[in-house]
Amino acid sequence: MNELRLTDTNAADDSAGSVWGLDGSLFMPVVASAAISIGVILILFSFFHLVWWMSFPLGAVPFTFTLIYVLLFRQGKPPGYDRDLFELWIIGPGFSFSPADGGKYRKPDFTRDTK
């Protein structure tokens, strides 16, 4: 009567977490690009003696592009969304059963004499 009853509740946390509003591991590319941007700013400012108002915008390019990429193509999207979208842009749509594409390709006409 006093048996322990076990019930599977699936109470595990499936979340990858978030840091500063970025899901899972999307935080790391942003931090890496920020470090690269700081390094570029320091090199431009101290080694090449570029004025600060020119070195800051040039140095911010890696961080800006990485942040835009993460926010537009990775944040809140399913896995592989960015690769699938780029493949669609480069190669185009794959096979489809669209009625609009029905007239494009016809069966070859072998009954006609080609001589």
Q: Is 108 domain-assigned? A: no
Q: Is 1 domain-assigned? A: no
What is the share, in percent, of the chain residues with pLDDT greater than 70?
77
Beta strands in the chain (DSSP E): 18-19, 22-23
Single-letter code of the amino acid located at 19: V
Q: Is 115 domain-assigned? A: no
33 CB burial (10 A radius; 0-12, 13-18, 19+) = buried
Location of structure tokens 């400012």: 45
The torsion of the CA quartet 81, 87, 90, 92, rounded to 10 degrees, works out to -100
Helical residues (DSSP H) of the chain, grouped into ranges: 27-42, 52-59, 61-69, 81-91
Task: Give the chain's domain count.
Answer: 1
Q: Is 16 domain-assigned? A: no
Q: Name the residue range of residue 43's domain.
A: 22-92
The answer on pLDDT for 72 being more than 90 is: yes
The answer on pLDDT for 65 being more than 80 is: yes
- Between 20-24, 67-71, 80-84, 93-97, the lowest mean confidence (pLDDT) is in 93-97
- What is the C-alpha separation between 21 and 94, in angstroms, rounded? 35
Q: Is 10 domain-assigned? A: no
Q: Is 12 domain-assigned? A: no
**Mean pLDDT, rounded, of the chain:** 83
Q: Is 112 domain-assigned? A: no
Q: Is 14 domain-assigned? A: no
The residue with greater pLDDT, 113 or 59, is: 59
The answer on pLDDT for 69 being more than 90 is: yes
The answer on pLDDT for 1 being more than 60 is: no
**Predicted pLDDT of residue 14:** 66
Encode pLDDT of 28-62 as tens digits.
Answer: 999 999 999 999 999 999 999 999 999 999 999 99
pLDDT grade for 18, boundaries at 50, 70 and 90:
confident
- With CA atoms as reference, report the closest residue to 74 among 37, 35, 13, 27: 27
